[in-house]
Structures are given as structure tokens and as C-alpha cells.
């Protein structure tokens, strides 16, 4: 007799999780043809074949006050899903990132006796390692996307498996392809500037980013400055800057060096092999709190993946135009020791992030948890 097709619930409450969840849904359906996959998600998961019974858009929020207004809808959703779990509607629950909600959903699944797989574990190693034991109590397996995470979670008794980073799944443009698409000649030295996407990020970072880039342009260290902009962003400054919207990977691939705000963009630069300097500023009170609770030596994911300092980090009062220009200048020189060392370090980071097939590895973990 053949086993009945599994009934799987996948929860992803934000756009990046919806994209990642879509790849996972595709892998699950490939492994389990006929599986019934229901979801809390968005259009990407629906297009991949999941029945999205709870759309994520009404729950998505940015900003403290906006998050407060979404608490009650999240609690109602948690209650509704808890009832479904207790009724035995699903054989497996897969949770994608979104820890504020998904950790509570993991608890509800555990209390209902449903095996749970957490895909893209929350970055508890950075801020709240004590919560990792809670994750271990509720999830039978954890899939992680950073190579140092299994050791962290394992030290706390949480079974974690490195499956590879989602960025390793993508096709990255070459320097020649990106320059051709952007109309940049091969001889031009290009500096890319990534001041962030959120309004407060741009307001805090843009003045020093702009001034550093202006100096480098005036001093002849680079020939063009390209700024990764957003529709809502404001970037007052020299007319010689070019602000580009849309997909930022072409800009990164085309650049000789970049000034980048801390975040996933630093790993995207590593995937493109583009040397970079990382900078970030938050409210002074937030910085004091962060210094007290952080449990890692660096903020850049590039340095964390490498396990050593590869890219300069200029945070808070150190993120000045003088220091930024000083750190970026040698990276624009194709023969400088600083550039050559960083290019080699970024190659190492790319190797550590794994290769394609992460979704299939997660689907294999799911198969281990499904009833025989």
C-alpha cells in the first residue's frame, strides 16, 4: 500500500519569506507529488502551487506603531491555526523565518503533537541566544542558512542543519554583463553607494556616504558614482551622481568597490565579488542597547561568515566621510594589497555559503519528520 499524500502547512509572513517559501513549495511538490500544501504567505507561494489560505499582506507592517496595530490580527491568526493543528488537519508544519509570529506557531504545533521544521532560523546568536532553547523545545529540526549556525544551535542542544544560503541559488551577473546593461565602459572606475531602503537609514547614512563619494570623485579615485535608490528615497547631492532604482545586483556587479549599509546587501556584494566597506548608524540610545546585548564580534554578515575581519566596519560615530573615503580609496585601486586581500576573502565567503539545492535539502529534512 502507498502512503497517503502528506498534508503540510507552510508559514511565511513577509515578502522575502514568501519568495523562499515558494522555492520550498516547489521542492516539496517535486518530492511529494499530490501533497496538499496550505500556507500563510503571498503570491509567490501561490504561484508555486500552495493553497494560500491566509494572505500575508494584511499582517505585514514596518515601524513600531504599525507593528502594534497588527498584534491583534496576528493573535487571531495564531488562535485559528492552533484550532486547526489540534483538529489534525496537518501532518507537518514548516516555518520560514518571521520569528515573532512563527516561534509562537511552533509552540502551538508542538502542543498539538505535529512535527515542526523551522527553515531560516532567527538570528538568535546575535541578540538573544537564550531564546534558542525555546526554539529547540518546539521545533524537531532547524534548517539554517549561515555556516556557523549549526555549531551555535548545537551547543544549546538544538538540532540544526546547514542547507546553504538562498543567495547561492541565484544567477549573478558578471562584471562585463552588468556594465553592458548599464552602459558603463570597461575603463571607468565605478563606486556604488547603498545607503539603505528605509527612510531613517537613508537620513542617517546619506550625508556621510555622499560626502565620501564626492571626495573620491573629485580626487580622481573613481570616475562614476552610482547610488542604489528607492522610489521614496531622497538623495540630495552632486549632479554627477547617478541614482538607479530597481534590482541592485547589476549595480553591485558593475562596481569596482562599494559603500554599503549593514545587512544582506553585504552578502550580495560578496556574491558579486565586489570589495566593500560596511557602515551603519542607529539612534544613540539604540546603539547603547545594542552594545550591551550583542553576542558577536562584528555586525557584517561577510565577516561573520568568514569568521574573521574581511571588510572594514564603520559604525556610529566612526561612519564619517573622512573614514569612509580613507577605507574605500584602496579598494578602487585594482593592484592595492587591500583590494586583493578582500577579493580573496570574498571568494572564501562565497564558498562557505554553499551551492544551489537548498530547497531540496530542506524538503529532505521535511521527509524525515513526516509519518512513515
Q: What residues are paired with 277 via a beta bridge? A: 259
Average pLDDT over residues 246-258: 92
Of 5-9, 291-295, 305-309, 319-323, the one with minimum mean pLDDT is: 291-295
Write down the pLDDT at residue 313.
Answer: 95
pLDDT tens digits, residue range 146-170? 998 998 888 888 889 999 998 898 8
Residue 124 has pLDDT above 80, yes or no: no
- What confidence category does residue 64 fall into, taking pLDDT thresholds of 50, 70 and 90? very low
Dihedral Cα 295, 300, 303, 306, nearest 10 deg? 90
Residue 133 has pLDDT above 90, yes or no: no
Residue 65 has pLDDT above 50, yes or no: no
| SS3 assignment, position 314 | strand
Residue 68 has pLDDT above 70, yes or no: no
Write down the pLDDT at residue 63.
Answer: 45
Of 54-68, 300-314, 334-348, the one with minimum mean pLDDT is: 54-68
- What confidence category does residue 239 fall into, taking pLDDT thresholds of 50, 70 and 90? confident
pLDDT tens digits, residue range 174-211? 999 999 999 999 999 999 999 987 777 888 889 999 99
The angle subtended at Cα 312 by Cα 311 and Cα 314, nearest 5°, is 140
Q: Are 77 and 40 in contact (CB under 8 A)?
A: yes
Report which of 307, 306, 303 is spatially closest to residue 315, judged by C-alpha positions: 303
Q: Walk me through the domains of the chain, giving residue ranges and CATH numbers.
A: 7-164+357-369 (3.40.50.2000), 175-352 (3.40.50.2000)
Alpha helix stretches (DSSP H) within 43-116? 43-48, 64-69, 71-86, 99-111
- What confidence category does residue 130 fall into, taking pLDDT thresholds of 50, 70 and 90? low
What's the rounded Cα separation, in Å, for the pair 47 and 54?
15
Residue 115 has pLDDT above 90, yes or no: yes
Average pLDDT over residues 36-63: 88
Alpha-carbon separation of residue 324 from 14, 64, 213 (angstroms)? 33, 31, 9
pLDDT tens digits, residue range 286-318? 666 656 656 667 888 999 999 999 999 998 889
Rounded to two decimals, the pTM is 0.83
Amino acid at each position: 500500500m502507498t502512503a497517503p499524500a502528506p498534508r503540510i502547512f507552510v508559514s511565511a509572513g513577509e515578502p522575502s519569506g514568501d519568495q523562499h517559501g515558494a522555492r520550498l513549495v516547489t521542492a516539496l511538490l517535486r518530492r511529494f507529488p499530490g501533497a496538499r500544501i496550505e500556507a500563510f504567505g503571498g503570491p509567490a507561494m501561490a504561484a508555486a502551487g500552495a493553497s494560500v489560505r491566509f494572505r500575508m499582506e494584511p499582517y505585514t507592517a514596518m515601524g513600531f506603531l504599525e507593528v502594534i496595530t497588527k498584534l491583534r490580527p496576528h493573535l487571531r491568526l495564531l488562535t485559528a491555526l492552533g484550532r486547526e493543528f489540534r483538529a489534525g488537519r496537518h501532518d507537518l508544519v514548516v516555518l520560514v523565518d518571521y520569528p515573532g509570529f512563527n516561534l509562537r506557531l511552533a509552540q502551538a504545533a508542538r502542543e498539538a503533537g505535529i512535527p515542526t521544521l523551522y527553515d531560516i532560523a532567527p538570528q538568535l546568536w546575535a541578540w538573544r541566544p537564550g531564546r534558542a532553547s525555546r526554539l529547540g523545545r518546539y521545533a524537531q529540526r532547524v534548517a539554517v542558512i549561515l555556516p556557523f549556525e549549526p555549531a551555535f544551535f548545537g551547543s544549546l542542544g538544538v538540532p540544526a542543519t546547514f542547507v546553504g544560503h538562498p543567495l547561492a541559488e541565484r544567477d549573478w551577473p558578471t562584471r562585463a554583463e552588468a556594465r553592458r546593461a548599464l552602459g558603463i565602459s570597461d575603463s571607468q572606475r565605478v563606486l556604488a553607494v547603498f545607503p539603505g531602503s528605509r527612510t531613517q537609514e537613508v537620513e542617517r547614512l546619506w550625508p556621510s556616504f555622499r560626502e565620501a563619494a564626492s571626495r573620491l570623485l573629485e580626487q580622481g579615485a573613481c570616475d562614476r558614482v552610482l547610488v542604489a535608490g528607492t522610489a521614496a528615497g531622497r538623495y540630495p547631492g552632486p549632479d554627477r551622481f547617478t541614482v538607479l532604482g530597481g534590482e541592485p545586483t547589476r549595480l553591485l556587479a558593475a562596481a569596482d568597490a562599494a559603500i554599503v549599509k549593514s545587512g544582506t546587501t553585504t552578502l550580495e556584494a560578496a556574491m558579486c565579488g565586489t570589495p566593500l566597506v560596511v557602515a551603519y548608524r542607529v539612534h544613540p540610545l539604540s546603539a547603547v542597547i545594542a552594545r550591551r546585548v550583542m553576542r558577536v564580534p562584528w555586525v557584517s554578515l561577510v565577516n561573520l561568515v568568514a569568521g574573521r575581519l574581511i571588510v572594514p566596519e564603520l559604525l556610529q560615530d566612526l561612519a564619517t566621510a573622512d573614514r569612509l573615503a580613507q577605507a574605500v580609496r584602496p579598494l578602487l585601486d585594482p593592484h592595492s594589497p587591500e583590494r586583493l586581500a578582500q577579493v580573496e576573502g570574498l571568494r572564501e565567503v562565497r564558498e562557505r555559503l554553499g551551492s544551489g539545492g537548498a530547497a531540496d535539502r530542506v524538503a529532505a529534512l521535511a521527509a524525515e519528520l513526516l509519518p512513515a
